Chains A and B, each alone.
Chain A
Amino acid sequence: MTELLYLASAVLFILGLKQLSGPRTARRGNTVAAAGMLLAVIVTMVDGDIVSWGTIVAGLVFGTVVGAVLALRIQMTAMPQLVAAFNGFGGLASAVVALAEIEHVGIALPGETAVTVVLSLAIGTITFTGSFVAFGKLQGIVTGRPVGFPGGHLVNAALLAGIAALGVAAVLGDTAAWYWLVVAVAAGLGVLAVLPIGGADMPVVISLLNSLSGVAASMAGFVINNSALIIGGALVGAAGLILTLQMAEAMNRSIANVLFSRFGGGGGPSADTGDKPVNRATPDDVAIALAYAGRVVVVPGYGLAVAQAQHAVRELATALEERDVEVGYAIHPVAGRMPGHMNVLLAEADVPYEQLFDLDQSNPKFPQTDVVLIIGANDVVNPSARDDASSPIYGMPILDVDKARTVVVVKRSLSPGFAGIDNPLFYEDNTMMLFADGKAAVESIIGALDDV
């Protein structure tokens, strides 16, 4: 009976995920999945031969308070690091479940169970430490730049091989110490694998860690022979992998390249940009260009999120719409710090869903666009990704903003973006540069618009 109820909760997860994939049903889907989780928890508490309730109740209450406070307090801009943190807790829990199993049953495990114990310890721990390094990078506690040292990848490869060797020793050996060593080495690998990855690659890393947390849960399911964990974990592992592949594709990079190239984070050589002239614009110039446009497209980048400018942008759009200017938003797949992050930020600022366009929808429309307003984006609008075969980002799909009649770039300075590459767009004749903080700039454009 217990098994059937676990199956029911797995079905609720599948239905929930299915509904989460459609805009109209998404919220219900989340509730359905949560109901599946509640069912699984209740079934476990009723059936699980539980002798000590104190620990369980204490953990449930404490975890609920912490989780709820974090979830309800968090700013939408900080969503990527929150997801990374939750992810890390999931990995930790899976690893500890496997440890508890060794503590409880002892190490005289059947061979296949011992293998899954090693896998849940290793994957769970890598997810745990890797996610918290990602959290630190996104939160600004750890530098967003790639941190690495020569031969770092060899060290990581050696650590991975070490985990495998220790795992074999744990399965064949007769002491629990091997398992603890697996944990220790995996913890180091999680840290060292994420540290060299630059801030711009975070969408890929977050997706990959999400996928790993699912796999860890699944492995823990093998350890305690529980189908709910195996199914739930496998679903999440597959879902995370799809998003990882999509993100990597959006940057024209392979996952291996993201993990091992130490790309991004402003570490690269900055091109010689000193002498080339740019068209400096004032907020008044921009206001005039926008006021007499027929169609305006806003291209938001992470700089917009950092400046908390999404509400100001929404105000500007409303002001333009009152002047019968058509306003849309073109969103590159890696515009934020996690997949779909920019869409969430704009939704928070009440931007209507129908005004958001993805890469494929946006590009054909740029030639008919009067003004493109780029706020805090750089690499995703860099034409050299399309035109210059020698560029490090050559081949990355970009928004073809240079095909619009006028391009306005709001940016703090001419400094290169995460990829550390100069952007020829800034020096085009039809480009106006407005050097300012994103939010302040948009607010002064709104002010100037009143006088046009």
Chain B
Amino acid sequence: MSPEFIAGIVVFVLAAFVGFEVISKVPPTLHTPLMSGANAISGITIVGAIIAAGFAEGNAATVLGFIAVTAATINVVGGFLVTDRMLEMFKRKPARREERNAP
């Protein structure tokens, strides 16, 4: 195995543990936004898609590149936007409450 590949495995394992540690205590209210936010992060494959589309030569490669970039972009843009939309609903709650309680 090449040194790069081994380094990749090291990074993968450590990142997985970081993921476990960071997420393990999340209140149920945030489960849906967390999942949709994490889903958007998994769209990081957009980087691979851009590289693949960038060296495109010939029809097959162009088609594959276009599919990859489009699919990953939908995942990234849609994921982050809809997460923000959800969290915005959570956020405005305390403000409204104060308004209502105010004399």
CB-based contact A30/B75 at 8 Å? no
Q: How many chain-A residues does the 8 Å CB contact rule pick out?
A: 114
User: How far apart are the CA atoms of A67 and B67 in the complex, in Å?
Assistant: 14
Q: When each residue 93-129 of chain A gets 1 if its CB lies under 8 Å from chain B and 0 otherwise, what string results?
A: 1101101110110000010110000000000000000
Which of A149-157, A265-273, A332-340, A385-393 lies on the face that meets chain B?
A: A332-340
Given contacts A26-B30, A79-B36, A340-B31, contact A17 B22 (CB under 8 A): yes
CB-based contact B60/A228 at 8 Å? no
Distance of A65 from chain B, by nearest CB (Å):
9
Interface residues on B, range: 35 or more
Cβ of A216: which chain B residues have Cβ within 8 Å of it? 42, 45
Given contacts A26-B33, A234-B12, contact A358 B90 (CB under 8 A): no
Q: When each residue 1-33 of chain B gets 1 if its CB lies under 8 Å from chain A and 0 otherwise, what string results?
A: 110110010011101111110111111111111
A259 beta carbon closer than 8 Å to chain B = no
CB-based contact B74/A63 at 8 Å? yes
A184 beta carbon closer than 8 Å to chain B = no
CB-based contact A218/B89 at 8 Å? no
CB-based contact A340/B30 at 8 Å? yes
Q: DSSP class of A's interface residues: helix, strand, loop or mixed?
A: helix
Pick the contact of A41: B30, B34, B47, B79 (CB < 8 A): B47
A424 beta carbon closer than 8 Å to chain B = no
Distance of A270 from chain B, by nearest CB (Å):
31
A226 beta carbon closer than 8 Å to chain B = yes
Interface residues of B in 42-79 (CB under 8 A from A): 42-57, 60-62, 64-79
For residue B82, which residue of chain A has the nearest CB? A71
A436 beta carbon closer than 8 Å to chain B = no
Pick the contact of B32: A68, A89, A96, A338 (CB < 8 A): A338
CB-based contact A343/B32 at 8 Å? yes
Distance of A174 from chain B, by nearest CB (Å):
19
Given contacts A59-B70, A71-B81, A100-B64, contact A238 B37 (CB under 8 A): no
Interface residues of A in 224-275 (CB under 8 A from B): 224-243
Cβ of A352: which chain B residues have Cβ within 8 Å of it? 93, 97
What would 15 A/B residue contacts be, using CB atoms closer than 8 Å? A26-B30, A27-B88, A50-B54, A218-B12, A224-B52, A234-B11, A235-B18, A236-B38, A238-B17, A239-B22, A243-B23, A340-B29, A343-B32, A344-B89, A356-B29
Known: A21-B34, A59-B49. 8 other contacts (CB 8 A): A26-B33, A44-B47, A62-B70, A67-B73, A89-B75, A112-B5, A238-B17, A341-B32
Interface residues of B (CB under 8 A from A): 1-2, 4-5, 8, 11-13, 15-20, 22-57, 60-62, 64-91, 93-94, 96-97
